[in-house]
A and B are shown apart, each in its own frame.
Chain A
Amino acid sequence: MNRVSSIVNRSFSSSGHEKRIRGNKTKDLNITSLIDILTILLVFMIKNISMDASQKNAPEGMLLPTTITKNELIESGQVVFVKIFTDRILYGSENIPVSSLQDFMLKHDIRQSLLRLLQMEARKIISINGKPCLLIQADKQLECRFITEFIKFSAQASFANIYFSTIHTDDKNQVLGL
């Protein structure tokens, strides 16, 4: 390989000696342009970054509905998450599996244990002078009867403030389906 390249070099240069000297010089990689790009990228990312924890909780594998309006959490509100997928229910920020949707609707003991869990959580929040809030993150393909069940549940467990998690957009046509 070296032999071939040297032959080629010789064949293209008028004076072979001069060419060999230039080839021996070590060339530094010019990374200035790369640094420029990375600096721009860094500034852009620092500008766009959000440290809001509530904005990073989009559950994987769930399609959330899109809305143009949004509400803020009430003052001293403490959020309890419930994630309702099309096939399962997860509780809390630790994603504790509760049951499948069908089991939740049909099995009384599962409903009772979830109710007790919610009541316990609500009592704990109230004891520290907080206001218990339920944040329901549900798949947009889900039927409303499951949501209604959860709303009834939360009312029984002293959760007066109920929120639905959505994806925020500024485009109203997206909501109107245009």
Chain B
Amino acid sequence: MAYGPSKNRTESQHESREPNLIPIMNLFIVIIPMLMTIMVSVHLAMIEITLPTQSSGGGGGDDAGEQIEEVPKVLTLALLIDRFEVMVEGNEDIIKIPQLTSGKYDFMTLDQTISRLKRLHENQQTIDLLPDPNVKFDTLLRSIDICKSNDFPNIKYLTTATKYYKAK
């Protein structure tokens, strides 16, 4: 005579079995701190500058100049301790951008000026940069950034020593 399944057996069969999540938890506890340590929160970038070369300079005085494309004028941005100065080759007028307050440069006006110069000298890709030795590195890089963002990809870093010895 066959007996039906016991009460305990039927109960255990009907009981829903939960998956064992402990190994997954262990895995997560290891992986998440590991990812947190290698996660990049600050994105670093690089800004390239070029060095002045010996061969730089105007190459005028040739009669066959009609066939040669117009040489773009040299633009120089000087970072002084109290202002910016922008010089265009062959132009007597120097654009001076004084500080807003003591120690606070007017980057907004510099941006507008560089943008305007780019429209006037579309062929020019380079700006010569002449920083005062006492200007902060932050000011230098902001100025480079403004030039690059206004489509002047090449920044030529001039050293003040060259100018200093010339003056002497």
Contacts and interface: CB of A to CB of B under 8 A. Distances in A.
A106 interface: no
A117 interface: no
A38 B142 contact: no
B70 interface: no
Interface stretch (B5-13, B87-95, B117-125, B126-134): B126-134
B51 A38 contact: no
A4 interface: no
B2 interface: no
B47 A166 contact: yes
B62 interface: no
Contact of A144 (B36, B51, B108, B132): B132
A159 B140 CA distance: 20
B51 A70 contact: no
B116 interface: no
Nearest to B100: A177
Secondary structure dominating the interface of A: mixed
A120 interface: no
B18 interface: yes
Interface in A129-143: 135, 138-143
Interface in A119-158: 135, 138-145, 147-148, 151-152, 155
Contacts of B39: 45, 48-50
A152 B38 CA distance: 36
B64 interface: no
Contact of A35 (B24, B38, B43, B44): B24
Nearest to B148: A69
A172 B149 contact: yes
A55 B136 contact: no
Contacts of A143: 133-137
B35 A65 contact: no
A141 B35 contact: no
Contact of A142 (B45, B111, B136): B136
Contacts of B31: 42
A35 B48 contact: no
A61 B31 CA distance: 28
B145 to A, nearest CB: 4
4 A-B pairs with least C-beta separation: A70-B45, A145-B133, A140-B138, A168-B45
Interface of B: 18, 21, 24-25, 28, 31-32, 35-36, 38-40, 42-51, 79, 104-105, 107-108, 111, 131-138, 140-142, 144-146, 148-149, 157, 159-161
26 contacts: A32-B21, A38-B32, A41-B32, A42-B31, A49-B39, A50-B40, A58-B42, A65-B138, A65-B141, A67-B141, A67-B145, A68-B149, A69-B149, A71-B45, A71-B46, A135-B46, A140-B138, A144-B134, A148-B131, A161-B48, A162-B49, A164-B47, A164-B49, A168-B43, A168-B45, A177-B142
